[in-house]
Amino acid sequence: MTDRKIPVTRSSMPPFEEYVEEIRGLWDSRWLSNRGALHRRFEEQLERYLGTPHVSLFANGHLALEAVIQAAGLTGEVITTPFTHISTSHAIVRNGLEPVFCDILESDLTIDPGKIEALITEKTSAIVATHVYGYLCHVDDIERIAKKHGLVVIYDGAHAFGETLDGVGVGNFGDAVMFSTHATKVFHTIEGGIVTYRDPSAFPSLDEIVNFGFTGNDEIGYIGTNARMNEFEAAMGLCNLKYLEREIASRRMASELYAQRLSGVPGIRLLRPQEKVTYNYAYHPVIFDGFKYDREQVLKRLADRDIFARRYFYPAVDRAECYNGRYAHYETPVAQYHADHVLTLPLYAGMAPEDVERVCDAILR
């Protein structure tokens, strides 16, 4: 057995010389933050790549989601998913809102549109849904419900950067979409977050909230935060954007090899690709559903062989200790089941085929 470890993910990096060249001018300008030249150029390139009319950059994805929820002026209750990173619900709660947890679909683990309307009350102001593992929410159904009830729709698209649905960039659905560009994501800026939106009038304070709420040199119009992306992060984004399609293609090769080895194995369930979606292959989730080993045993077997997978998402966020007794309890059996049975396997650009084989052998043998 080799001693070489296989991590659950690995950050993609551009050529060192390219990054150095991108940041070289900072030693002359000494402009390291507050919407510098690299920041502005990065926004412009993102608008073109994502096909969205408006892009705002943030220090990280969580602050981006907090800020866009605040800028939307939401009140009362927000319907959301229990099968997501805890960041999603924290962003809702930290804005003084009450999360209402809606169960998910077994087919793609995204929020179940068929169960949303039963949760809508006179206090409901928005739906905050998550594109899970790059599987997209049923955006047309959600849009129909939102229009019928006058609700804002915000997507947590942390896993979905660069994806399209029927040729339309995922950043164009809903009122706003947040993307995380953390170092572990398909596309990263070391740390960072992006918000895309079509109508600036829906989020009039967004670009001020990011900078403590300043609306002028000595004017503070909003209770804001410090969520600015710095120039070194913007430079990493500019460099990585050049290689994104190559990175996705490499991930696709590894993901397809996993599918070849694990499809049809009794007790192992894989999610099926959605129609008309171009994927970024951010994750490779496996559902251990009656396999000869349960999820915890598989996780340990892999770790014993220096292979590191992740229980993602676990626990389901409506069962998080910090929420115990704070909010109304809703039945979410599909989310609970998958929180206990999903494992995301190692996946990253440049993952060698023999490493994919090693992971599969450890599971199957």
Instruction: List, in sequence order, every residue forming a beta bridge with 101; answer none if it has no partner.
Output: 80
Contacts of 217 (CB under 8 A, 6+ apart): none
Report the alpha-carbon angle 309-134-337, nearest 5: 60
Dihedrals φ, ψ of 353, to 5°?
-55, -35
The CATH 3.40.640.10 portion of the chain extends over 16-242
The reported pLDDT for the residue numbered 328 is: 85
Mean pLDDT of the chain, nearest integer:
96
Peptide bond into 315 cis (omega under 30): yes
Q: Which residue has the tokens 């009350």?
A: 121
3-state secondary structure of 150: coil
Distances (CA, A) of 201 to 112, 214, 230, 300, 343: 29, 18, 26, 51, 41
Say if residues 76 and 99 touch (Cβ distance below 8 Å).
no
The reported pLDDT for the residue numbered 329 is: 86
Q: Is the pLDDT score of 1 beyond 50?
A: no
Architecture per CATH, domain 244-364, reads as Alpha-Beta Complex (3.90)
pLDDT tens readout for residues 92-135: 999 999 999 999 999 999 999 999 999 999 999 999 999 999 99
Distances (CA, A) of 43 to 137, 185, 228: 25, 18, 13
Separation CA 281–CA 13 (nearest Å): 17
What does the pLDDT average to over 329-358? 97
The CATH 3.90.1150.10 portion of the chain extends over 244-364
3-state secondary structure of 260: helix
pLDDT tens readout for residues 146-156: 999 999 999 99
The reported pLDDT for the residue numbered 3 is: 63
Separation CA 113–CA 52 (nearest Å): 25
Counting residues of the chain whose pLDDT is more than 90, the rounded percentage is 96
Q: Is the pLDDT score of 2 beyond 70?
A: no
Cα of 210 vs its chain's centroid, Å: 20
Architecture per CATH, domain 16-242, reads as 3-Layer(aba) Sandwich (3.40)
Say if residues 132 and 112 touch (Cβ distance below 8 Å).
no
Q: What pTM was computed for the model?
A: 0.96
Q: Is the pLDDT score of 276 beyond 90?
A: yes
